């Protein structure tokens, strides 16, 4: 069996260890969304356990060690780096610019479609100084990481147990 690490994809974990689905749900109610076949076949395939920890609001070391213990893997996983906080003080660009574009992925997901192409196209079309507001039922950690790697700034507001507003800003 594969070793459980922060780099492992959620789908890979559940394929290798199907019984760990319940352990994930016990760690955070946010993981109950994995029971949705669309999310399981899309988001879970690209989301690492490290990103899932941020989505679920669970300390990374707790998540990995609980999964490892439930899977019967020996040893404790040591988290070396401080965990990345996605939500922090509102950045100055939030007050300086209104969202030029808005996408709510909830209806897209409800239709059983994958919103990634729509969102990436909108991110690619952002002009300097523009902001995209994304509304989602879960934290899109892989998308946030992709946007950051492309030089975009991000800000997240959690507005409810299943409501996130994610802002992507293209610096001037």
What pLDDT score does 113 carry? 86
What token pair was written down for 160? 């409810």
Question: What is the spatial distance between Cα 119 and Cα 134, in angstroms, rounded to a whole number?
Answer: 8
Segment 143-168 shows an average pLDDT of 89
56 and 98 both lie in a single domain: no
98 and 144 both lie in a single domain: yes
**Which range, 84-93, 97-106, 121-130, is most confident?**
121-130
127 and 156 both lie in a single domain: yes
Q: In sequence order, which residues have a C-beta less than 8 Å from that of residue 6 and are 6 or more positions away?
A: 48, 49, 50, 53, 60, 64, 77, 79
What pLDDT score does 87 carry? 47
77 occurs within a structural domain: no
Q: Greater confidence, 89 or 155?
A: 155
Backbone angles phi, psi at 165, to 5 degrees: -115, 120
100 and 161 both lie in a single domain: yes
Q: Which residues of 136-151 are buried (b: 16+ CB within 10 A; e: fewer)?
A: bbbbbbbbbbbbeeee
- Answer whether residue 82 shows pLDDT above 60: no
Q: Greater confidence, 87 or 45?
A: 45
46 and 17 both lie in a single domain: yes
High-pLDDT (> 70) share of the chain, %: 93
- Answer whether residue 105 shows pLDDT above 90: yes
Going by pLDDT thresholds of 50, 70 and 90, the confidence category of residue 88 is low
Q: How many domains does the chain have?
A: 2
38-78 pLDDT, tens digit each? 888 888 888 999 889 988 888 888 999 999 999 999 877 77
65 and 134 both lie in a single domain: no
What pLDDT score does 70 carry? 94
Domain limits at 143? Answer: 92-169
- Answer whether residue 156 shows pLDDT above 70: yes
Which domain CATH number covers 146? 3.30.110
What pLDDT score does 96 carry? 66
142 occurs within a structural domain: yes
Q: pTM of the entire structure?
A: 0.65
């Amino acid at each position: 069996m594969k070793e459980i690490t922060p780099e492992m994809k959620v789908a890979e974990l559940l394929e290798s260890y199907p019984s760990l689905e319940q352990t994930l749900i016990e760690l955070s109610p946010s993981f109950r969304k994995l029971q949705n076949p669309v999310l399981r076949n899309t988001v879970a395939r690209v989301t690492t356990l490290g990103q899932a920890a941020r989505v679920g609001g669970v300390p990374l070391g707790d998540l990995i060690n609980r999964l490892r213990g439930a899977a019967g893997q020996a040893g404790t996983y040591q988290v070396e780096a401080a965990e990345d906080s996605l939500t922090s003080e509102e950045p100055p660009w939030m007050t300086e610019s209104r969202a030029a574009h808005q996408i709510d992925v909830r209806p897209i997901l409800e239709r059983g479609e994958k919103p990634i192409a729509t969102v990436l196209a909108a991110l690619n079309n952002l002009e300097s100084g523009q902001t995209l507001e994304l509304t989602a039922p879960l934290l899109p950690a892989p998308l946030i990481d992709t946007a950051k790697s492309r030089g975009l700034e991000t800000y997240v507001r959690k507005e409810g147990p299943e409501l996130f507003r994610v802002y992507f800003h293209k610096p001037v």
